Amino acid sequence: MSEAGGTGQAGPAEAVTANGAGEPLHVRQAYALAEADAADEVVTRMEAKVAKAKQAAKDMVATATAALAEAQAAAKAANEHALSLGQEEG
Amino acid sequence: MAFGSASKIFRNFLKDCHDRTTSALDLDTDVPKVALYGNTGTPDQNATAVLSAYNGAASAWVTANELTDTNWAAGGRTLGTITTHFADTAGILWYDAADTSGAGNVTISNAYGVLVYDDTITTPQADIGISYHAFTTQPASVTAGTFTVVWDANGIFRYTL
């Protein structure tokens, strides 16, 4: 993807079906357990997302602050240089 | 107007990954969903954010085009057991999950494919699309039975660098 000749693909999907599978109690229990597991997985992922978001926010502020200081220093130096050349000419 | 037989990653999704227009995007932690669609609406991999989003206005993914059942409700099923292979295979990044099934027996007619979208993202565009996947055998139908979306052996999507 990032180089010439790279590719990115979404894979095809297959729909597998079985008519009239029936839903006795043990099947419904299995479905319910799977739903509970899935819900727990979502909670875990959202907790991780919050933690990452907090860290990312800190990193972005630190990066932006450092970049601002660097840009301000560079601008100050450039302006001082331009000023000194102007004074030399005068 | 038809779903077609192609499976594609949305260009807008990759754009967002690179320019962070959707700064909250994080496939390590987000929870995408899988919504079922019939043969109305034409997927477009080059669609804008809103036109690639689940129920995006005037998109192929509006709820009017979606197929639902009590056990495959509007909005779709949550992608589970997600595995991100972003740093474990040389020259390849890929994203996979467990096959996606209904919450019980379902009755669905004439399903042509699915939209995978990021249900965690709310702004600047809610539910942005990640990819769409055509079924290898179209259409797929089931009556009071099991319906499982089996993901490709190469995952939901894969980049070969």
Q: How many CB pairs under 8 A join A and B?
A: 132
Q: DSSP assignment of A14-83, as one string? A: EEEEETT----HHHHHHHHHHHHHHHHHHHHHHHHHHHHHHHHHHHHHHHHHHHHHHHHHHHHHHHHHHH
* pLDDT averaged over every residue in chain A: 88
Minimal CA separation from A70 to chain B, in Å: 23
Give me A40's structure tokens: 């727990």
Q: What does the block give as tokens for B9?
A: 């990653």
Contact B66, B35 (CB under 8 A): yes
Residues of B in contact with A46 (CB under 8 A): 29, 31, 120
If DSSP codes are grouped into helix, strand and coil, which group holds residue A87? helix
* Residue A5 pLDDT level (bands cut at 50, 70, 90): low
Amino acid letter, B16:
D
- Residue B85 CA from chain centroid, whole number: 18
Q: Which two tokens stand for residue A13?
A: 């999907």
Q: Among all residues of chain A, which has the CA nearest to that of B103?
A: A31
Q: What pLDDT does residue A3 have? A: 44
- 3-state SS, chain B, equals CCCCCCCEECHHHHHHHHHCCCCCCCCCCCCEEEEEECCCCCCCCCCCHHHHCCCCCCCCCCHHHEECECCECCCCEECCCCEEEEEEECCEEEEECCCEECCCCEEEEEECEEEEEECCCCCCCCCCEEEEEEECCCCEEEEEEEEEEEECCCCCEEEEC
Per-residue pLDDT, B58: 95
What is the SS3 assignment for A6? coil
Beta-carbon contacts of residue B19 (< 8 Å; ≥ 6 apart):
none
Is any Cβ of chain A less than 8 angstroms from the Cβ of B131?
A: yes
Of B31, B142, B154, the CB nearest to A42: B31
Looking at every residue in chain B, the average pLDDT score rounds to: 94
Indicate the residue of A17, A22, A38 with minimum beta-carbon distance to B80.
A38
Nearest to B82 by CA among B120, B31, B157: B31
CB B134 within 8 A of CB B65: no
Compare all CA atoms of chain B with the CA of A48 and give the residue at the minimum distance: B29
Determine the pLDDT at residue A40. Answer: 96
Q: Which residue ranges of chain B lie beneath pLDDT 70? A: 1
pTM: 0.88
pLDDT score at A11: 81
- CB contacts, 8 Å: A11 with chain B: 7, 133, 151-158
Question: What residues of chain B, 46 to 65, have a C-beta less than 8 Å from chain A?
Answer: none
Query: Mind telling me how many Å the CA of A3 is from chain B's nearest CA?
Result: 6
- Residue from the list A9, A19, A49 with its beta carbon closest to the beta carbon of B143: A19
